[in-house]
Chain A
Amino acid sequence: MADPSPSQIAGWLEQAQLGDAAARDQLFGACRSFVAITARVHLQRRLQSKVDASDLAQQSLLEAHRGFERFAGQSPQEWFGWLKQIVVHNAADVAKQYRGTAKRDAGREISLAAESSNSAAWDHTPPDPGPSPSQVVAGMEQELLMAAAIEQLPDDYREVLILRHLERLPFQEVAERMGRSRGACQMLWARAMEQLKGLMSQTSQATREPLPQ
């Protein structure tokens, strides 16, 4: 297998759409951790800490696999959009079911303050528009590696990175969400970063290795 190059995903996608089963497996293998991380972030957002994110990821991947023929887009951009759409839809479904069956528990877990400060975090607009979605997707291989590395971390390391980096919450809120002190969270975060850095340098050294499956 070749190095992950910017055209790798596009190539697999094209081959898979022409009916190449091996390319399709490679495509799904490469996107597995991306789907897993997206599922985790969306469950976090819906405050559904009790739902198992890997179930959601698994279900979404299965759906994408089964419905692959129906994916009519061409670019990797559309492909990741499609995957994300499936995850977002399933997360919404799960949240709906969960709210229906366990209203009491959910109510106990979510405080009004947590919800409002959380939504305020989303309203925050950065001073600079940042890269456009197409620029973001052009180098997706790097992000896929990052997603795979995060997936390998222990649970609490992963959680602190998701809250602090992917959700961009300040430490005070990370601490509230994780039910630990602020100092303990910063400590946990520092250790998580260290381990992540180690994992990332391993992958970049072993460039001959295939993408994690």
Chain B
Amino acid sequence: MTEPRELPFDADHLDRYLEAVQARDVAEQRRLIDAHPDLAEWSDCVQGLEQLAQVIESPLPEMPLSESAVIGQNFGKYEILKELGRGGMGIVYHARQIDLGRDVALKMMTAGIYATEDQRRRFISEARLAARIRHPRIISIHDAGELHGQLFFTMDLIAGEDLASCLKAGCPPQRSAVELLQTVALSVQHLHEQGILHRDLKPSNILLDEAGDPHLMDFGLAHGDDRDTAATATGTVLGTPSYMPPEQALGHIRDIDARSDVYSLGAILYELLTGRPPFVGESRVGTLLLVLEREPVRPRLLDPSIPRDLERICLRCLEKEPDRRYPSANALAHDLSAWLAGERIETPEDGMLQRLQRTIRRYPAAGYRCAVLASTMFFVILRCLFRPDYGSYYLPVILGLLSWTGLSVFWEWRGRRAPEDRWIGYAFALTDVLLLTLLLVMTENAEKATVGAYLFLVSVSALWLDVTLLRVTGLASVVGYASLLFLSADEVPLHVAAIMGVLILGTVALSEFQVRRLKFGQRLQP
């Protein structure tokens, strides 16, 4: 407020008047104008701006299709009877085709006449793709067109429920689940043979008719060989992350092929068997991170009655690497029918390396610790082999490393039993700092490069994405390093100790910055 004021009028009065206008306080407006008559000449301007603000802000006029008002209305040769469901861009109605006297499902765009060019293009491409398909287990299109500026198409009307609502009531018996998925896999194979990828396979897109037979629907994200760039560019951010393969989650459009649909089929099988999708995070980004980095919990751990072979089929579909999945939906259907017939399935047992990789992805906290500790032990043992006379010196070190490994595995095991507990991260962090300090004291390493391990511990604790935990680990590291200096026989110059302290705190600050950034990114995502 220190700036010089050289205005020909009193801006404070005008400001107060503007506040009264924005608050819609008419009495205050009148009072101000009476008290300061020169405000009157401003009122047109202020009121005009306020009106413009209201026009820009006013809700869009009601769209005929977002209202239930269409129910009971005639729409061309169709009479709309009731709403069946809403998707990302369309509303599906139960309608009667008056001339033929049959019931159909009629899909219209949610945006109605306000739809943009891009939305219309996607809607039309969905109808075109779906019209190419004639298959008893895929919903087919009868009619498509435009009426009063409103695009629509009509499809088979299936009396029944979608698989997602059926799953809410509970899992089907294992055999029926496998039969169901086998049928769906064969329908997907048919799509692939027509050159169409579905890209959004999930339980809510599978309709079960009264006989319990599945029908595939919703091609809103699908696209054919004629790659429409506009539609695919937006397609990457759509889709349901819980059933989405990593390559689609990353938006690698070029890498999406038939095996991406195989992944989604595997995710559906997983849910049919265990009652939950393979990955469920706290947020959309949380789920995406799980899809990219983690191994799904083994189905047999959730339900021991699930046969080993079925688990193997399911996990093969869910492989991160497309090359490791079934090469086609047909191959998956083939393995499922082999299982149904009690024959040997094609999928081999996991190899050593694959099992190790899975274990680390499944238990990352303990997995990576074991890997680092094991390599440390390897170098220590190597040293002992070259200098056997040092054996007695290194024996306690190896014991220390072994108990560190043992404790990590123990915490991981405890954490599995109560995954929602937050203390497990603290347990890991404090164990790490304590054992590291102990080992460094034992080996009199206070002034050597190995103290850099504290920085490593701080970075590792950032992976829990918890700022408090990160700070606690940083504090514990500083305390650990201080006690190391205190207990160690060597004299460490003060400036070296100070630099080390700064490095630890700097690592905390930097990691905290990254954690906050990532969390902010999560908030930005819808």
Give A73 to B116 CA distance when docked, in angstroms.
Answer: 15
Residues A137 and B7 in contact in the complex (CB < 8 Å), given A96-B237, A107-B520, A200-B44: no
Cβ-closest 9 pairs across A and B: A72-B149, A85-B114, A165-B49, A81-B61, A190-B11, A183-B3, A128-B24, A133-B58, A146-B48
Give A183 to B4 CA distance when docked, in angstroms.
Answer: 9
Which residue of chain A has the shortest Cβ distance to B24 in the bound complex? Answer: A128
Measured between beta carbons, the chain B residues less than 8 angstroms from A179 are none
The answer, among A38, A67, A90, A186, for a CB contact under 8 Å with B56, is A38
Measured between beta carbons, the chain B residues less than 8 angstroms from A9 are none
Which residue of chain B has the shortest Cβ distance to A184 in the bound complex? Answer: B3
- B49 near A71 with CB under 8 A, answer no
21 interchain pairs, CB-CB under 8 A: A70-B149, A85-B116, A89-B116, A112-B520, A126-B22, A126-B24, A127-B24, A127-B25, A133-B58, A133-B59, A136-B55, A137-B55, A142-B48, A166-B53, A181-B3, A182-B1, A186-B15, A187-B7, A190-B7, A197-B42, A200-B48
The answer, among B22, B25, B118, for a CB contact under 8 Å with A168, is B22
Q: Which residues of A contact B (CB under 8 A)?
A: 34, 37-38, 41, 63, 66-67, 70-73, 77-78, 80-82, 84-86, 89-90, 93, 96, 99, 103, 107, 112, 126-128, 130-131, 133, 136-137, 139-140, 142-143, 145-147, 150, 161, 164-168, 171, 181-184, 186-187, 189-191, 193-194, 196-197, 200
Which residue of chain A has the shortest Cβ distance to B50 in the bound complex? Answer: A165
- B117 near A66 with CB under 8 A, answer yes
The minimal Cβ–Cβ distance linking A74 to chain B, given in whole angstroms, is: 11
Give A108 to B119 CA distance when docked, in angstroms.
Answer: 32
Measured between beta carbons, the chain B residues less than 8 angstroms from A131 are 54
The answer, among A71, A85, A126, for a CB contact under 8 Å with B23, is A126
Give A182 to B3 CA distance when docked, in angstroms.
Answer: 10
Interface string of B37-61 (1 = CB under 8 A from A): 0000110111011111111101111
- B520 near A67 with CB under 8 A, answer no
Give A112 to B1 CA distance when docked, in angstroms.
Answer: 26
Residues A186 and B11 in contact in the complex (CB < 8 Å), given A37-B56, A80-B55, A99-B524: yes
- A71 near B113 with CB under 8 A, answer yes
Measured between beta carbons, the chain A residues less than 8 angstroms from B53 are 165-168
Measured between beta carbons, the chain B residues less than 8 angstroms from A182 are 1
Which residue of chain A has the shortest Cβ distance to B19 in the bound complex? Answer: A170
Interface centre among B1, B9, B52, B149 (most CB of A within 10 A): B52
- B45 near A193 with CB under 8 A, answer yes
- B45 near A196 with CB under 8 A, answer yes
- B23 near A127 with CB under 8 A, answer yes
Measured between beta carbons, the chain B residues less than 8 angstroms from A128 are 24
Measured between beta carbons, the chain B residues less than 8 angstroms from A112 are 520
Measured between beta carbons, the chain A residues less than 8 angstroms from B25 are 127
Interface of A is mostly: helix
Within 8 A of A (CB), among B113-151: 113-114, 116-119, 148-150
The minimal Cβ–Cβ distance linking B383 to chain A, given in whole angstroms, is: 44
Interface centre among A38, A93, A161, A165 (most CB of B within 10 A): A165
- A187 near B54 with CB under 8 A, answer no
Give A166 to B58 CA distance when docked, in angstroms.
Answer: 12
B244 proximal to A (CB < 8 A)? no
Residues A72 and B148 in contact in the complex (CB < 8 Å), given A166-B56, A181-B3, A183-B3: yes
Measured between beta carbons, the chain A residues less than 8 angstroms from B106 are none
Which residue of chain A has the shortest Cβ distance to B119 in the bound complex? Answer: A89
Interface centre among A81, A128, A131, A182 (most CB of B within 10 A): A81
Measured between beta carbons, the chain B residues less than 8 angstroms from A190 are 7, 9, 11, 14
The minimal Cβ–Cβ distance linking B343 to chain A, given in whole angstroms, is: 47
Measured between beta carbons, the chain A residues less than 8 angstroms from B56 are 37-38, 41, 84, 166
Which residue of chain A has the shortest Cβ distance to B5 in the bound complex? Answer: A187
The minimal Cβ–Cβ distance linking B24 to chain A, given in whole angstroms, is: 4
Give A171 to B2 CA distance when docked, in angstroms.
Answer: 15
The minimal Cβ–Cβ distance linking A40 to chain B, given in whole angstroms, is: 10
B304 proximal to A (CB < 8 A)? no
B517 proximal to A (CB < 8 A)? yes
Give A97 to B110 CA distance when docked, in angstroms.
Answer: 23
The minimal Cβ–Cβ distance linking B14 to chain A, given in whole angstroms, is: 7
Give A165 to B150 CA distance when docked, in angstroms.
Answer: 36
Interface string of B145-170 (1 = CB under 8 A from A): 00011100000000000000000000
B81 proximal to A (CB < 8 A)? no
Give A107 to B518 CA distance when docked, in angstroms.
Answer: 10
B348 proximal to A (CB < 8 A)? no
Within 8 A of A (CB), among B4-36: 5, 7-9, 11, 14-15, 18, 22-25
The minimal Cβ–Cβ distance linking A146 to chain B, given in whole angstroms, is: 4
Residues A78 and B61 in contact in the complex (CB < 8 Å), given A143-B48, A197-B42, A200-B45: yes
B280 proximal to A (CB < 8 A)? no
The minimal Cβ–Cβ distance linking B16 to chain A, given in whole angstroms, is: 12
The minimal Cβ–Cβ distance linking B19 to chain A, given in whole angstroms, is: 9
B521 proximal to A (CB < 8 A)? yes
Measured between beta carbons, the chain B residues less than 8 angstroms from A63 are 116-117
Which residue of chain B has the shortest Cβ distance to A41 in the bound complex? Answer: B56
Which residue of chain B has the shortest Cβ distance to A111 in the bound complex? Answer: B520
The minimal Cβ–Cβ distance linking B66 to chain A, given in whole angstroms, is: 12
The minimal Cβ–Cβ distance linking A118 to chain B, given in whole angstroms, is: 13
Given contacts A81-B114, A126-B24, A133-B59, 19 further A-B contacts (CB under 8 A): A70-B113, A72-B113, A73-B61, A78-B61, A81-B60, A133-B61, A140-B55, A146-B48, A146-B52, A147-B52, A183-B3, A186-B11, A187-B5, A190-B14, A193-B42, A194-B7, A194-B8, A197-B41, A197-B45
The minimal Cβ–Cβ distance linking A115 to chain B, given in whole angstroms, is: 8
Measured between beta carbons, the chain B residues less than 8 angstroms from A137 are 55
- A107 near B521 with CB under 8 A, answer yes
Measured between beta carbons, the chain B residues less than 8 angstroms from A189 are 11
Interface centre among B2, B41, B55, B119 (most CB of A within 10 A): B55
Within 8 A of A (CB), among B478-526: 517, 520-521, 524
B111 proximal to A (CB < 8 A)? yes
